[in-house]
Amino acid sequence: MLRSLLFALAIGTAGSAHAQTAPSASDIASYTGLHLAAHEGDVEEINRLIAAGADVDIRDRSQRTPAHVAAFASHDDALIALANGGADMNAFENRVYDVLTIAAVADDPKMVSLAMELGNAPDLITSVYDGTALIAAAHLGHHDVVARLVEGGAPLDHINNLAWTALIEAVVLGDGGADHIKTVQILVDAGADKSIGDRDGVTPLQHATSRGYAEMVEILK
């Protein structure tokens, strides 16, 4: 009984793992300089401010850099301009998210690839769950993002502080539907270790079997 309660609590907690905080209306109203230009995708203004000596990694009250703001707003060209101006592509905001994980959670495959091209490392340990961008994307069934992260060299078998890998999260936190099935297939095809269990030793196959996820079971056998 206790184990079941703890498992349910873990699922409920992990369910909010993707609950990043985008700039609020009040944040945006307070923005000036590079934060405002990043939010608006104003590349010309970004370049002008950087040339004038603006701090390209200046932080807002939630420790977001302009690069984080550009990622939340899905402004690819703004992110490129910031990176070309020396922005730290591996910086974390106050919830321990980087540009790559922000893009992964937003299901923005193009920005995921772009972030890695601009120097955002795919193996950073992100979020309070000590996860990765790949785990966040697998959790949500964002299979196109998962594919790009795998191609970019993201660690397949990282274990977060819930004792779950990306493969386990795709099963345990997924709905067994097409998106999560594709996610599982991509991870397995890439060589994710199917034998790694959770903290109780329960493997992805056993989780899929207990949930009646027949297509996942076939992939994981």
What CATH number corresponds to the domain at position 170?
1.25.40.20
Range of the domain at 79: 21-95
Same domain, residue pair 64 and 155: no
With a cut of 90, say whether residue 14 has pLDDT above it.
no
Task: Work out how many domains the chain is built from and give that number.
Answer: 2
> How many residues make up the chain in this entry?
221
The residue-averaged pLDDT of 188-194 equals 98
pTM score, two decimals? 0.91
Measure the CA–CA gap between 219 and 25, rounded to whole angstroms.
44
What is the number of other CB atoms lying within 10 angstroms of the CB of residue 5?
A: 9
Measure the CA–CA gap between 28 and 21, rounded to whole angstroms.
13
Q: What is the DSSP string of 126-149?
A: BTTTTB-HHHHHHHHT-HHHHHHH
Measure the CA–CA gap between 192 and 107, rounded to whole angstroms.
21
Same domain, residue pair 130 and 200: yes
CB of 85 within 8 A of CB of 101? Answer: no
102 found inside a domain: no
- For residue range 105-163, what is the model confidence (pLDDT) as tens digits? 999 999 999 999 999 999 999 999 999 999 999 999 999 999 999 999 999 999 999 99
Measure the CA–CA gap between 142 and 100, rounded to whole angstroms.
13
72-95 per-residue burial string, b: 16 or more CB within 10 A, e: under 16: bbebbebbbbbbebebbbebbbeb
